[in-house]
Structure 1
Amino acid sequence: MAADGPSQLLVIADFDYTLTPYHTPTGEHAHSCHGIISGSGFLGHEFQAKANALFQQFYPIEISPLLTQDEKEPHMVQWWERSHKIMVDYGLHAHHIKDAVANADITFRDGFQPLFASLAKANVPTLIFSAGLADVIQAVMNKNWGASFWTPNVHVISNVMEFDPTTGRLLGFQEKLIHCHNKNTAVVRDTPFWDECHSRRNVVLLGDSVGDVNMTQGLDGKEVLRIGFLNAHIEERMAEYLTLYDVVIVNDGTLHFAHLVVDLISRQSDDVAAP
């Protein structure tokens, strides 16, 4: 992988609890993209109660070691569809996104900025592949890093909201529902990102869930380095994660290892260019 250099490298990263930490600096459970909306309070207590009830119902299924991915998938579809429906039912507006993000304490794992700076410098196609909300991800990035974050090598594929152009009210979501167990290249094939990346031989994958390891499914013949972040129930889930990921990082660890890997691979182009 290192010998091929950055011209053959592709990075695919989950967003929630992979690029962002699982805990806030004060030790509380950090918000996901969906959690930023439900936690904002803009849609009222009844909406918050329904969103929390969905979490309590479906999250244990998502992390259960006793169920297969195929057994979990229909439950995840229900969870995402019902979560999106209540956003529509309770009148989410476009301005709520910016306001919710402005009020949310969203941080990134240590090492995020130098990692993405290195990826931009080496022009490595980088996909933020999320089952969250594309509109929230964009607002979070703009809040924390500004327009300079959006270098040409960075792409986001996630659930995209559709708003009424006159009222700004949420109408629904674009057709392809992305949940935590269907993140694979079938969702990516009809995008400009696929044209840019599918011929690259090597992939660094960053994820925090069992489903995230499938983000390279469909990229046949690739060399994949899987870096996993195990955020909760560490003792119970470590054995499973060690079978899925090549490297497992716990306790809200940093992105420094991923950065070291990217720098090692990128150095190959510098070595070739040197006289």
Structure 2
Amino acid sequence: MAKPPILHESDGSVSGVNNGAVNQSKFAGGGARGGGGHSAGESSSGQGGQPQRGGAGAVIPVYAAGSGAAAKNNNHRSTASVCIKVRSCGRRSMNQPKMANGSNCYCANVVINDPKLLHQKKAAIRLAGPSKFQVIADFDNTLTKFWVDGCRGQSSHALLQQENPEYNVKRDELFNYYHPIEYDPQIPVDEKTKLMEEWWGKTHGLLIEGGLTYDAIRNSVASAVIAFREGVVELFEFLEANIPVLIFSAGLADIIEEVLRQKLHRTFKNVKIVSNRMKFDQNGNLVSFTGKLIHSLNKNEHALDMAASLHDHLGEVDDHMIDSASVKKRTNVLLLGDHMGDLRMSDGLDYETRISVGFLNHNIENSLDSYRKGFDIVYLDDASMAGVVKLVSELFSPASD
């Protein structure tokens, strides 16, 4: 039988599959999965610890869209399904379904909509060099895993447990009311934006009224079901010398910082968090929030101007390195997100070249088409960060061509 083609992420070239020994563990628990987005006051009882769903070895057919004018119009899809190789590929077992074209290849966890355009973007960024480059990343379900040890991972908002349980219940009630509004397509954006501001404001008020302490944050993170994707540390280390990483989140900066401390056990001088920041008194009690409110519908590059300043970072770094002005001079962007709305994180930046990477963690069948049209690269099924590490190494390693 002829070997099915593989579309390599690096340059769009096509080659045969290596059917030798492979690591198939990535696909042992695959399948379409359910879950929600990330919102203010996410249900503290409903986001973590849920068992994994989906049959073992489930396969989603993946198609590579053609390049050229048809691909740019986003209305062309090739009729032949291809396997896009990142880690492993091999012959399917007897209980694994075939791909749409009947091939034996089942390692479909990356989709590149327009390989030619991606190759051109990589060449432009490489030519401009690292001084013109920055990374803008979402936090929940992008830097962190969607599934943790077979359970649904918690978001940075959902993991928070106040010492007064009554206020956890009140935040859950707000979530149950506002969360359907957030995703209701029938509500106009202007109206929805006001409601999101209302939701975030009420949630923050409950945190203050309920007597939240920094100790509660520390304890919540310690017991949380949250973990970073494999490869995140390697990515931060590669970029640490001279490339800023801006973590954009509609959540809480103080919690994100604590997650970084406890789960990565180190800090990075180039990482900045643009999010809602708390102010504590000398006894560690929450008394207020600083800067303008950042919620799910304004979490984009405008937040740099809305916030009182780029928030304090974890490590020591010269102020001129990642201030608002220098960020806007870095006009080549790698954007990482898990939600279509994350594509707007670079809206306030007059960028020249942007490579967007989307992590489609769940609801793959229904969302794949929109994700592949929106993002340059889409990683499926809660993939690791290995492909992104490979991408940035190709952009700036001396051996890159």
Q: Does the pair score TM above 0.5?
A: yes
Residue 248 of structure 2 is aligned with which of 111, 129, 134? 129
Question: Are 1:34 and 2:140 counterparts?
Answer: no
Question: Are 1:217 and 2:347 counterparts?
Answer: yes
Partner of 2:294: 178
> Cα offset for 1:240?
2.8
Higher helix proportion (structure 1 or 2): 1
> Cα offset for 1:212?
1.4
Question: Are 1:95 and 2:225 counterparts?
Answer: no
Structure 1 gap segments, 5+ residues each: none
Report the secondary structure of 2:126's partner residue: coil
Distance 2:212 2:378 in 1: 37
Distance 1:228 1:56 in 2: 27
Residue 143 of structure 1 is aligned with which of 254, 257, 262? 262
Report the secondary structure of 1:197's partner residue: helix
Conservation of the 8 A alpha-carbon contact between 1:20 and 1:108: yes
Residue 156 of structure 1 is aligned with which of 238, 257, 273? 273
Could you say what the CA RMSD is over the residues aligned between the two structures, in angstroms? 2.1
Residue 110 of structure 1 is aligned with which of 226, 230, 234? 230
Residue 43 of structure 1 is aligned with which of 140, 161, 164? 164
Report the secondary structure of 1:238's partner residue: helix
TM-score, normalized by length of structure 1?
Answer: 0.86
- Higher relative contact order (Cα pairs below 8 Å, separated by 6+ residues): 1
Q: Percent identity?
A: 37
Distance 2:386 2:186 in 1: 32
Aligned length: 262
Conservation of the 8 A alpha-carbon contact between 2:141 and 2:155: yes
TM-score, normalized by length of structure 2?
Answer: 0.61
> Cα offset for 1:173?
0.8
Report the secondary structure of 1:81's partner residue: helix
Partner of 1:17: 141
Conservation of the 8 A alpha-carbon contact between 1:125 and 1:196: no
Partner of 2:378: 248
Distance 2:237 2:366 in 1: 35
> Cα offset for 1:229?
1.7
Distance 2:375 2:127 in 1: 22
Structure 2 gap segments, 5+ residues each: 1-124, 311-321
Report the secondary structure of 1:188's partner residue: helix
Partner of 1:201: 331
Conservation of the 8 A alpha-carbon contact between 1:69 and 1:211: no
Task: Find the structure with the greater CA-based Rg.
Answer: 2
> Cα offset for 1:74?
2.3
Partner of 2:130: 6
Distance 1:70 1:234 in 2: 29
Note closer, same or farther for the CA distance 1:67–1:264 as it changes in structure 2 (3 Å cut): farther
